[in-house]
Amino acid sequence: MPGLHLPRLLTLLCALLVMGVFGCSPAKESADGRIVLRYLAGPDVGGGSREIIRRFEALHPGIKIKMVEGPAASNIRENMYSTSLMGGESTYDITYMDVVWVPKFAAQGWLLPLDDRFTPEMQDEFLPGDVLGSIYDGKIYRLPAQSDAGMLYYRKDLIEAAGFKPPRDWEDLVRIAKALQDPPKIWGFAFQGKQYEGLVCDYLEFLWGFGGRVIDKDGKIIVDSQEGIDALAAMVSTVRTHHISPEGILTFQEEEARHLFQEGKAVFMRNWPYAWNLVNSEGSPVKGKVGIMPMVGRIPGSGAATLGGWGWGISAYSEHPEEAWKFIAFATSAESLKVSYRKGGVIPARKSLFKDPEVLAKSPHFAKLYDVLIAARPRPVHPMYARISDAIQLHVSAALAGQETPEEAMKGAAAEMRAFVERK
Ligand code: GLC
C-alpha cells in the first residue's frame, strides 16, 4: 500500500476494531471477572460522574462502569454513538443522551423501551419537559438526569454602578453592552458561536424571542420567515456591526464563553445554568457579582429558553440490561443528582431537589430557575433532528462569519430542511 505508513495503518485498524467491523467489540468482562458497562459522555467537569461511579461500584462489586470521556460538543458524541449503534452491537451498553437524540435513537431501534421499569409514578418525580423529551412514539427511552435551559448572565455590579437596570429586551441589552464594554479588556456579550449544536440552541432563543419558529403546526418549514431573518440579523450584529462580541466568538462553545465571563471579560453571557456555581466559586474574579435572568427577546417579555438536558438510556444490543438499569437508576437517584450538582453544577431533573434544603442553601436562585426550566421550549422533535440542526449550524455560522447575509442563510437552511422534512 504505497503512501500508507504503518502508524496510519494501525490507526485505521484500531478505528475499524472500535467500530466493530471485525466483530471485536471491547471486552465485556474486566480482568477480575466483573461485568463491564461502557458509556460515552462529555468531559466530567468537577468529577461528579467519577464520584457516582465510585459509589455505585462499591455497592455492586460485580459491575464495572467504564465512562469514556468524549468531546464536549453534543453533536459529535451523537455521531460517535450512532456509528457504534449502527453496527448493531453494544460498545456502549448505556447511552448518556442529549434530549434531542431520543427520537432518532428510538426510531432506529437502538434503545430499549424503559416503560416496564420507569413507571408513570416514577416519571412524575421528574420535571415534565425532561420526561416528555424522553418519550418517542408513546414509549419512554430515557431516564432524565440533568435539566437545562438557556439563560442570561449579567454583571450585576457593573450594571448597578452605571445606574442601569437589567435589560428588558434585545435593544436594551445592546445599549447596555455598548455602554459598559471596553474591548478587548471587557466585551459586551458572550455566547456560543461555534458551528455545533450549541449554536442552534442560541439561534433558537433569538428566533423564538423574535416571534419565529422552525416548523409550523402542519410540519411546514418557516424558519426563513421575516422573524427568522430578523432574529439572525440580531445575532449577527453582535459581532459584525455592534461589535459587542469578539470575532473569536466563532470558536466559542459553553466553556469558552464561561471562561471569558468568569475572568471578568464580558458584561453579558448566554449560557446554561451549570455556569452559576462555577462563576461563583472560590477564587472566581466575578464571585457574587453576577445576576441571572431569562434571555431577552425583541420586545419585553418575549424572551425564550431552549430546553436542553441529558439522561440515560440502555442500548437495545446490551447483553446486560439488568445491570445497566441498576446503574442508571442509581445515577438518577436524588443522592446521585446531588453529587452531580455539588461537584459540577449539573441541574437535577428531579423535582424534589428544587425544594431540598441543602441545595437551596447553596442556590437561592433555584426557585426562579425552576420557572425558567418549566417554560423552556424544545428544539424540533424529529427523527431527523440531527440534519435539521446541521442545516441551521451551517448557515447561521456562515452568517456570523459574514459569508452569507441573514436572508441568504435562512433561505439556504430552509431549502435544505424542506428537502427532507417536508418530503412525503
Ligand atoms: C447543553 C444542553 C444540551 C445541548 C447542548 C448544546 O449540554 O443540555 O441539550 O444540546 O448544551 O451545546
| Residue whose CB lies within 8 A of the most ligand 1 atoms, among 148, 274, 397, for a mutation test | 148
Task: Quote the ligand 1 centre to 294 CA distance (angstroms).
Answer: 17
Q: Is the CB of 130 under 6 A from ligand 1?
A: no
Tell me the CA–centroid distance for residue 419 and ligand 1, in Å: 26
Q: State which ligand 1 atom lies nearest to the alpha carbon of 306.
A: 9
> What spacing in Å lies between the alpha carbon of 417 and ligand 1's midpoint?
21
**203 and 294 housed in the same domain:** yes
What's the structural domain count of the chain?
A: 2
CATH for 348: 3.40.190.10
Residues 177, 216 within the same domain: yes
Same-domain check for residues 225 and 198: yes
The tens place of each residue's pLDDT in the chain, 424 residues long, gives 334 444 444 434 434 444 443 344 576 778 889 999 999 999 998 899 999 999 999 999 999 999 999 999 999 999 999 999 998 887 999 999 999 999 999 999 999 999 999 999 999 999 999 999 999 999 999 999 999 999 999 999 999 999 999 999 999 999 999 999 999 999 999 999 999 999 999 999 999 999 999 999 999 999 999 999 999 999 999 999 999 999 999 999 999 999 999 999 999 999 999 999 899 999 999 999 999 999 999 999 999 999 999 999 999 999 999 999 999 999 999 999 999 999 988 999 999 999 999 888 888 888 889 989 999 999 999 999 999 999 999 999 999 999 999 999 999 999 999 998 876 5
Closest of 381, 309, 370 to residue 130, by C-alpha: 309
Residue nearest to atom 4 of ligand 1 (CA): 308
**Domain coverage including residue 108:** 26-141+307-374
Please give the distance, rounded to the nearest whole angstrom, from the Cα atom of residue 165 to the centre of ligand 1. Answer: 29
Say if 45 falls within a structural domain. yes
CA of 342 to the centre of ligand 1 (A): 19
**Together in a domain, 293 and 330:** no
Which of 271, 317, 10, 301 lies closest to 153 in space, CA to CA? 271
Among 134, 197, 312, the mutation site with the greatest number of ligand 1 atoms within 8 A of its Cβ is: 197
**Between vectors from CA 82 to CA 76 and to CA 87, what angle results, nearest 5°?**
140
- Give the whole-angstrom CA distance, residue 44 versus residue 381: 27
- Pair 54, 103 in one domain: yes
Does the pTM surpass 0.85? The reply is: yes
CA 6 to chain CA centroid, nearest Å: 38
Residue 13 lies inside a defined structural domain of this protein: no
Q: Does residue 258 sit in the same domain as residue 405?
A: yes
Strands 143-149 and 187-190: unpaired
Please, which residues have CB within 8 angstroms of residue 259's CB and are 6 or more apart in sequence?
none
